[in-house]
Amino acid sequence: MDGKVRMVFPQPRFCEEDLPDLRGQTALVTGANSGVGLSTARALAKHGAKVVVACRSVAKAQAAKREILRQLGDGSGVQDNLVVLPVGLDLGSSQSVREFASAFSASHARQLDMLVLNAGIMFTPFELSEDGVEMQFMVNHVSHFLLTLLLLPELTPGARVVSVSSCGHFATYPEGIRWAALNASDSYDKFFAYGQSKLANILFTRELAARTRGRDLFVNAAHPGFVATNIQRSINADLRKLFGWLVDACNDIFTQIFGLTPDEGALTQLFLAASPRVRAEGIHGEYWVPTARNATADAWALSPTISRHALDDKLAADLWEFSVKVTGTEALARDLKLERP
């Protein structure tokens, strides 16, 4: 992997060189301007896919495109593989999601082969979105739910939808999702709220998979592993107030022993987005962990890799009902024939 000691995950079962020729396919990657999202977009473009670089602003998307081209080199020939739409994708706003989806549909109708729901925020202070939803839940789940439903008509036969979750889904409120106080500031815990949003990623994956079973579509969730990226900036800022420079020193040591690089962290979602094995093996409605391992089936795990809440069918159905109501997509879900089996 790069010579570092790896004490958390076994050696990978999938590497970037295992990606097939993706020419003629189109991918959309949210949060493609940094970390695992940037690595995912780069790898897909390098292997021939047209990649729509979705970021909060057009400027961030353009910067991501430049960075990918810099990493691959001037002679890589992937300039035309990287697409920046004329609108940004601000996942804190349902209006922005709708505008982005409209722009995508206008330019890539019936052309979407890979939808990678990668963007996210972590351990942020309490804030409500303009839609009145707690911001971590809005960005990490609600907006991705809305984007997925809006773009389902553009998916090609055999398309993949990959939701990027986390092992952090274990660390949620005792009831899994705190419906009664989802948007309440007085009982807000930024750590549990993050875990709640990552739990929602898996529940959404399982529910969407159930509602699309029998279609030529493959919906799965991925945990990228412990990756040192800027998503951790909020917790690190808090810890620095208490422990100063020791935070950065401990982070460096911990990352060297346990951490994955962004390129390594991208492998599991790349597997689910592009590996021929997904279709050949009918991988649908599952949660995978580094590197390219089925969280519910692999015998190597010494402890559970998916929580009981994530396997709760009623909680998944309740989340679906909440999500269609808060996004106003009840009619769209009916039109798309997304009835519960």
Arithmetic mean of pLDDT, 25-47: 97
pLDDT at 231: 45
Arithmetic mean of pLDDT, 49-58: 98
Read off φ and ψ for residue 297, nearest 5 degrees: -120, -20
Which carries the bigger pLDDT value, residue 238 or residue 188? Answer: 188
pLDDT in tens, 234-272: 455 554 454 444 545 455 554 555 568 899 999 999 999
Kindly state the tokens that stand for 298: 């692999």
Arithmetic mean of pLDDT, 122-149: 98
Arithmetic mean of pLDDT, 280-301: 83
Which carries the bigger pLDDT value, residue 295 or residue 128? Answer: 128
Arithmetic mean of pLDDT, 118-139: 97
Which carries the bigger pLDDT value, residue 58 or residue 2? Answer: 58
pLDDT at 32: 98
pLDDT at 305: 87
Active site residue 194: yes
**Mean pLDDT rounded to a whole number for the chain:** 89
pLDDT at 75: 80
pLDDT at 11: 54
Catalytic site residue from 173, 188, 194, 287 = 194
Kindly state the tokens that stand for 97: 């999601």
